[in-house]
Amino acid sequence: MNRFYVPFHAGLKNLWIDSSESHHITHVKRLKVGDNIIVFNGMGDEFEAEIEEIEDNRVNVKINQQKTISKENIVGIDIAFAIPKGKRSHLLIQKCTELGVHKLIPINYARSVVKLKDDCSAKIEKWQKIAIEASKQCGRNTITEIGEVVNFDNILKTVDSYDLSLFACSQSDANNLKNTLQEHPKPNNIISFIGPEGGFTTNEIEMATKSGCKFVSLGSRILRIETAAIAVSAILSYHYST
């Protein structure tokens, strides 16, 4: 059944769907009065609904049944990633959303090829739309949050709020990721830092060490930013799924 995202609180019996989703219903999917759809609110709830009325720019639906279906990871996973060039960030956001990542935080590292300035709300909004579409496609009833762009030293100040902080790097003394996760069987939340393809600077490594980050290896090969982010997300999601 077709799924559509509408941010609203549970308890309504009828709902007007505006903007792009109503366009998608009527012009893309070409649904009509009497057709049934699924509506989810991004807060964990989904609803079976029936189209009752169609106007030029909005659609009215009757809520028939509410279902609270959790498809979230047991552990909250945040990914603090260097921003890839071009549209590679779209793949990163799409796949990490499908893998159940709680929050994606774009970071300006010292060696980042792409650095975003403070006024980047349009790009963040575009990335959030990609996350919404990915949630619609994969059946999640929540939306991966796209955080504001921050500098590396500022994001380190939040490390204490996580049960486990991972620093994916090629350091010779980096621990095997599997072993590190086995040493932390029941974290509530995790943040993983994915650096630029030029690597972390010595200063960034020292700062991460002082902040208590765990240095982990993803293997002997050099991975693109989006590959590393997707790999870490998949490993964490799988490891803590049982």
CATH number for the domain harbouring residue 9: 2.40.240.20
Same-domain check for residues 104 and 198 = yes
Same-domain check for residues 221 and 117 = yes
The C-alpha angle with vertex 30 and arms to 28 and 31, in degrees rounded to 5, equals 125
| Range(s) of the domain holding residue 53 | 3-68
Sign, CA torsion 107/110/112/114: positive
Same-domain check for residues 122 and 181 = yes
Domain edge (last residue) among 47, 68, 89: 68
Structure tokens at 31: 């649904």
Query: Is pLDDT of 242 > 70?
Result: no
- Please name which of 50, 55, 54 lies closest in space to residue 39, comparing C-alpha atoms: 50
Residues 6 or more apart in contact with residue 183 via CB below 8 angstroms: none
pLDDT digits (tens, 9 = 90+) for 71-122: 889 999 999 999 999 899 999 999 999 999 999 999 999 999 888 876 788 8
Total-model pTM: 0.91
Same-domain check for residues 59 and 105 = no
What is the residue-averaged pLDDT of the chain? 92
Same-domain check for residues 18 and 86 = no
Domain edge (last residue) among 68, 84, 117: 68
pLDDT digits (tens, 9 = 90+) for 42-77: 988 899 999 999 998 899 999 998 877 778 899 999
pLDDT digits (tens, 9 = 90+) for 128-170: 999 999 999 999 999 999 999 999 999 999 999 999 999 998 7
What's the total number of domains in the chain? 2
Query: What integer pLDDT is reported at residue 117 of this predicted model?
Result: 76
Calpha distance 230→37 (Å, rounded): 31
